[in-house]
Amino acid sequence: MALPALAALVVAVLVLGYRFYGRWVARQFVLDADRVTPAHRLADGIDFVPARPFYLFGQHFSAIAAAGPIVGPILACSQFGWLPCLLWIGLGVVFIGAVHDVSTLIASVRHDGKTIAEVVKVHLGRPAWLAILLFIWLALVYVIVAFVDITAGTFVSDKVSADGVTTTFNQGGAVALAAVLYLGLALVMGLVNRFLRPPLWLQTILFVPATLFVVWFGTQHSTWLVLGWREWVYLILAYCAVASVTPMWLLMQPRGYLGGFVLYGALLVGVIGIFFGGFSIEQPAWKGFDTPGQTGLLFPFLFVTIACGACSGFHGLVCSGTTSKQIDKEPHCHPIGYGAMLLEAFVALIALATIMIVAGKPSGGPGKTYAEGLARFITLLIGDSPEARQTAVTFGAMALSTFVFDTLDSATRLGRYILQELVDRRGLASMVVTSLVTVGVPLYFLESADKGSYVLFWTLFGTSNQLLASLSLLAISVWLWRGGRRPWFTLVPMALVMAVTVTSLILQARNLARFEGGTTPWLNGLVAVVLLGLAAALVGFAARAVRQTPAAARAAA
């Protein structure tokens, strides 16, 4: 089957899933447009602010769409082939990933905009709340580890030349300079918006073209920031620590706004490349059930490797952390919670296409594969000259790093929040210490890592991330059951994802008893055992909550 026809089939699955199954799931919650949402009932002009669905959709989508749906599908395709990847992305997102997102969003709206951890506290008790906070923190640590490793890799390369280019060009240096200038641009926009307060349209026409300019500037001065992988790890983690205590208005909000344009630009380029580029599928559809030397068996590693492309527990933190506080009317939860996750699956489809059109084995990691694939799509618009190809590759790699920085900021800040909550401390000193701890653990992991460990880090990241989604669905199922409803539409996805992730953790935990393969598998094995223990405890708390709920109370509810 040709690439455009295959992509059209996946898009049709997503559209039909939204139209039929998504609406059916929304009906199970009896969404009521007349019920007052927390955005109105608790409006404070800061966190609880009702937003129109169109604008809230964009904000929510840019928050959840990170490097996961890009790196994961490329890694999985290189190991197992594109056919199982497409099946899991298309069907997994409709019946599991999007169900998780919309259910978490609705649960938070119905609980006064509380986070999923607070929902757990209400229905499973305080010990369960402590367990899930620790689980979330460990999951966030692996988000930071995996994404810092990937980003540092995109910033490093030998001096290379595109075909036909005679001048020296360092792709990693170009991406690094463009990314650093982009962050500086966001800081300037934050200061301008805070103190000069120009209209948003004026800021847009000034700063969005400037974002494209820094991409071009990076290609022209690609040797200005040529550092090694380890140096970039230190610098990125230092950035995470600083960004996690920086006011939202100064960095995260303007960077998120500019990053949204980069994200939508990458989506547009992907659509043009897939449907109008005339590219053929070069990768095999199927490579086998086992890939020796990489992550291993298709079950469970295909699912956890694709990670956010089909299901992500991190999305639940966004749904219940910020988005639920801005829902204007309950029916908006369907397009925002369910719809945005389907659009993220489309991001995964574009990423998958960038490796499907590569003949033979890709020459670099997933970041390089995505950048070069997106560059082939971009040259359809700007021409195929040597300089145009350099700029296109830089844009593709910077698009990936833009998504990563958005996730790193949020993950580090959330990690700080959780540690402060656990120790019950506030103030500047507490902010600094908890931020340093949140980046210190990833630094230790990366310092101890063996060369080429990013695949192993990514596997445990995907496992913990999807197990968090399963535990969130478990808590939501208990809430629905205690309210007199039949939660099979959340219980079945919960059980499937838990079976995958627990199997993955058990396989990785075996490395704890042996030092074969280096330090990284042993560290992953240790964390896997801790995560298994916390997950088992939460399942036990859920079972106790179900047993202790009187039948009369369920009937009355």
> What string of pLDDT tens digits covers the 557 residues of the chain?
799 999 999 999 999 999 999 999 999 999 999 999 999 999 987 789 898 898 889 888 888 887 889 999 999 999 999 999 999 999 999 999 999 999 999 999 999 999 999 999 999 999 999 999 999 999 999 999 988 988 888 888 754 444 444 446 888 899 999 999 999 999 999 999 889 989 989 999 999 999 999 999 999 999 998 999 899 999 999 999 998 888 878 887 788 788 888 888 999 999 999 999 999 999 999 998 876 555 578 999 999 999 999 999 999 999 998 899 999 999 999 999 999 999 999 999 999 999 999 988 887 788 889 999 999 999 999 888 888 888 999 998 888 888 788 788 888 988 898 898 888 887 888 889 999 999 999 999 998 876 667 788 899 999 999 999 999 999 999 999 999 889 999 999 999 999 999 999 999 898 777 656 567 888 889 999 999 999 999 999 999 999 988 765 666 65
CA distances from 76 to 119, 199, 443 (A): 34, 44, 26
Q: Which helix (H) or strand (E) holds 493?
A: helix 488-509
Helices (H), 221-339: 229-243, 252-276, 298-306, 313-321, 333
CA distances from 470 to 68, 79, 103, 411, 444 (A): 17, 25, 12, 19, 28
C-alpha angle 417/64/329, rounded to 5°? 90
Termini Cα distance of the chain: 51
What gap in Å lies between CA 41 and CA 60, rounded to an integer? 21
What gap in Å lies between CA 194 and CA 179, rounded to an integer? 23
Query: Greatest CA separation found in the chain?
Result: 79
Tokens matching residue 276: 């109008």
Q: Which helix (H) or strand (E) holds 296?
A: strand 296-297
* pLDDT value of position 286: 94
Whole-prediction pTM: 0.92
Q: Which residues contact 202 (CB under 8 A, 6 or more apart)?
A: none
Amino acid (one-letter) located at 139: A
Q: Which helix (H) or strand (E) holds 79?
A: helix 68-80
Contact 113, 48 (CB under 8 A): yes
* pLDDT value of position 160: 42
Contact 6, 273 (CB under 8 A): no
* pLDDT value of position 554: 63
Q: Which residues contact 529 (CB under 8 A, 6 or more apart)?
A: 505, 509, 512
Contact 438, 141 (CB under 8 A): yes
What gap in Å lies between CA 304 and CA 507, rounded to an integer? 13
